[in-house]
Structure 1
Amino acid sequence: MLVNADFSQPATVAGDDYHWVASPQSGVERVMLDRLGGEKARATSIVRYAPRSSFPRHLHPGGEEIFVLSGTFSEDGNHYPAGFYLRNPPGSSHQPSSHEGAVIFVKLWQMQAHESEPVRVDTRNADAWRHEHGRAVCPLFENHHEQVWLERLPAGQPVFSNTDAAVELLVIDGQIDIPDRSLSQGSWMRFPAGLRPVITSGAEGATLFIKTGHLPSTLEHSKP
């Protein structure tokens, strides 16, 4: 299966235009943002757990990255409410579930093989944030391969400044404005290197999940 699989092209999925697809597990649905492969795929998705739904224990050979958007996501007896960032390294396994229901942003098969340590960041903690150039930033992860952070912008601020690297973003809260439309909470965008449309935070500001340095330049190079 190929969904937004040409990484040399921009891609956008608006938060008000989700198409939910049932997963193999009852009570769990997905919005496929990009995907290369079947059930074991390089994939970026929004995943929705119904209350009291779960997956059996399974392995993640290519690692798994999660940001909890709403509800509470649980794994192996640990509970992560909205605002938690989780990074499970390649070769890890878990048994995910949600008692109350949850919506999470998930990325699979997108880590370097040498990563070995799990990461947990509670972005609700004020101490996790710092101020840079008039905006609040919450670092989530960084290595030589990629950088991941949350950014909280006041109204009318440009989203991108001085970088032209390939980048991916998800609107966590608020909205962003592009030349022909506004994109609400839950909207996802991906841009190849060198392409930077004019994007500003909306009238009430925006909180964004931003990730850069991890994107392949072509479909062929991005297969797991």
Structure 2
Amino acid sequence: MLINADFSQRASVTSQQYQWITSPQGGVERVMLDRIGAEKARATSIVRYAPDSYFPNHKHPEGEEILVLSGTFSDESGDFPAGWYLRNPPGSGHQPFSRDGATIFVKLRQMAAGDQHLVRIDTQAPSAWQRNGDSEICPLFSSHQENVCLQRVSPNQPIPTQHTGGLELLVLSGEVLMDEQHYAQGSWIRLPMDDTPVITTGAQGATIYLKTGHLANITVAG
């Protein structure tokens, strides 16, 4: 299965374009944003857990990155309400579930083999944020290969980023504008290497998830 698999091209999905697909596990649905592979895939998705749904215990041979968007996501390591950012390194495993329901942003099989960082950050905590000019930033992870953060940017301001190694953005609140197109809450954008358009916030500002640098060495699927 190939979905938005040509990483030399721009890709975007707005919330109005979401297509919820039932997973093999009952009560769990997903929107496939990009994907290379079948059930065991390099994938970026929005995943929705119904109350009292779960996945069986499984491994993540190339890691897993999660941002909890709503509800409470849980596994053996704890309960993680909306705003929690998790990184489960390559070789880790767990049995995820949600008692009351949850929606999460998930990236699978996208970590370097040597990345053994286990990360748990509550982005709702004021101490997680720092001022950066006209914006606030919540650093989530940084390495020679990628930089991940949340940003709160004031209205009608450019998104402050260097993204010559590729960019991925998820609008968590507000909206952003790029090439006269409006991308509201829930919209996902991926830009290839060296594609550097001006991206600005809308009249209400925006909070975004932002990952940069991670597309520099990716193999392009035709």
TM-score norm. by structure 2 comes to 0.95
Cα offset, 1:214, TM superposition? 1.3
SS class of match (2:15): coil
Counterpart of 1:204 in structure 2: which amino acid? Answer: Q
Mapped to 2, the partners of 1:195 and 1:160 lie a distance apart of: 15
Cα offset, 1:107, TM superposition? 0.2
Q: Which residue of 1 aligns with 2:168?
A: 168
Q: Which residue of 2 aligns with 1:12?
A: 12
Cα offset, 1:45, TM superposition? 0.3
Aligned residues: 221
Contact 1:170 1:189 in 2 (8 A): yes
RMSD over aligned Cα atoms? 1.5
- List structure 1 runs of 4+ shifted beyond 6 angstroms: none
Mapped to 2, the partners of 1:78 and 1:89 lie a distance apart of: 17
Q: Which residue of 1 aligns with 2:34?
A: 34
TM-score norm. by structure 1 comes to 0.94
Contact 1:177 1:200 in 2 (8 A): yes
Cα offset, 1:178, TM superposition? 2.4
Deviations 1:92-136 (A, max 9, x none): 000000111110000000001112231001000111111112210
- Superposition pairs for residues 40-59 of structure 1, below 5 Å? 40-59=40-59
Distance 1:80 1:93, change over 3 A: same
Q: Give unmatched runs, 5+ long, in structure 1.
A: none
SS class of match (1:16): helix
Q: Which residue of 1 aligns with 2:177?
A: 177
Counterpart of 1:149 in structure 2: which amino acid? Answer: C
Distance 1:161 1:28, change over 3 A: closer
Counterpart of 2:144 in structure 1: which amino acid? Answer: H
Contact 1:192 1:217 in 2 (8 A): no
Mapped to 2, the partners of 1:116 and 1:77 lie a distance apart of: 16
Q: Percent identity?
A: 56
Mapped to 2, the partners of 1:84 and 1:163 lie a distance apart of: 24
Cα offset, 1:197, TM superposition? 2.3
Mapped to 1, the partners of 2:211 and 2:106 lie a distance apart of: 13
SS class of match (1:173): strand
Mapped to 1, the partners of 2:161 and 2:54 lie a distance apart of: 41
Cα offset, 1:52, TM superposition? 0.7
Counterpart of 1:9 in structure 2: which amino acid? Answer: Q
Q: Which residue of 1 aligns with 2:140?
A: 140
Contact 1:35 1:43 in 2 (8 A): yes
Cα offset, 1:19, TM superposition? 0.5
